Amino acid sequence: MGAFDPQTKQFCTVTKVGNGLDDKTLLKLQKQIKMVKISKDYSKVPKWLNVSRNMVPDFVVVDPKQSPIWEITGAEFSRAGAHTAGAGGGQEGISIRFPRVTRQRPDKTWRDATDVPRLESLFTSSHTQSDWSKRLDAISKPSNQLATRDTLKRAFKEIEEMNIDDSGDDDINDDVKDTKKPRLMRIRDSMGFRHLRELFNGFIIDVPKSLVDDSSFNMLYRRLVACGAVVMGDGLPNSNLSATHIIDWPDSSSANSNADNLVHVTVEWLEQSIKANKLQTLPTKQA
């Protein structure tokens, strides 16, 4: 699986996915997707693909921009030298631990799919907000003295008490396996990528300059992007888009001439929605 890098105009590798699809779906994909055999020969890798030598596949698609878009679920983001997305400047590529195909996204094209800049933002956001990767590392090593029976019980209990909403799994394609998983795998899935939930999917949020300049905005920006929002404003990308929402912020006047027609939200409302993993009642528009 890969992500598009707009800077290099190449698709970069992120992870290899070996589960989540049944045999019938795999057979159908083999017939539908046009492939070219390159036999793991690095000299035959097409220019559009940025892949490390040890990850060159037997086959590549003829046109990645015509390929299906897949939604992937995993336990956490990680860095891996084998992958190329976000690699450079001494950093290894971004990868995904315990990946699994959740569903196909026919509503999205390669332009709409998660690209490398957003992947980097999500990676940073996930490690800023969560310490579950450290907990997983600790409890996954039998030789670790921390991994006693009591420690494992406490870790599992804390994860269960997070009360994570899994309602988004109800619309998984019929082609995806719907089998019960072992307890440990179910816990990993429940923890995985909840920072990638599409809570604000479809939101194009206009941010006033005074908030952009505020020291608290960097964290808010990461959380909004991680929850699917497009954020625009003075000095930010996407400023050519038409906003759907605008943040009310003290001591600021919006430069958006269409502000009266937008949905007004507050920082508090956004943070409460993120915390509850559910859109809250909209605040009263400030005069």
Q: Where are the domains of the chain?
A: 2-129, 204-276
Q: Is 89 exposed, middle or buried (0-12, 13-18, 19+ CB in 10 A)?
A: exposed
**Rounded distance between C-alpha atoms, residue 35 and residue 63, angstroms:** 9
E strands in 98-253? 100-104, 204-207, 230-233, 245-248
Whether the Cβ atoms of residue 93 and residue 87 lie closer than 8 Å to each other: yes
Please name the CATH architecture into which domain 2-129 falls: Beta Barrel (2.40)
Give how far the C-alpha of residue 177 lies from the chain's centroid of Cα atoms, to the nearest Å.
21
pLDDT truncated to tens, each residue of the chain (287 aa)? 889 998 899 999 998 886 667 778 878 888 888 999 999 999 999 999 999 998 999 999 999 999 989 888 877 888 888 888 888 777 788 888 888 888 888 888 999 898 998 888 888 877 665 554 455 555 444 444 444 455 555 655 655 555 444 444 444 444 554 444 444 333 333 333 344 467 888 899 999 988 888 888 888 888 888 888 888 888 777 677 888 999 998 866 655 666 778 899 999 999 999 888 889 988 776 54
* Cβ-based neighbour number of residue 36 at 10 Å: 10
Contacts of 205 (CB under 8 A, 6+ apart): 224, 229, 230, 231, 232, 243, 244, 245, 246, 247, 265
Burial zone of 255 (CB within 10 Å; 0-12 exposed, 13-18 middle, 19+ buried): exposed
Predicted TM-score (pTM) above 0.85: no
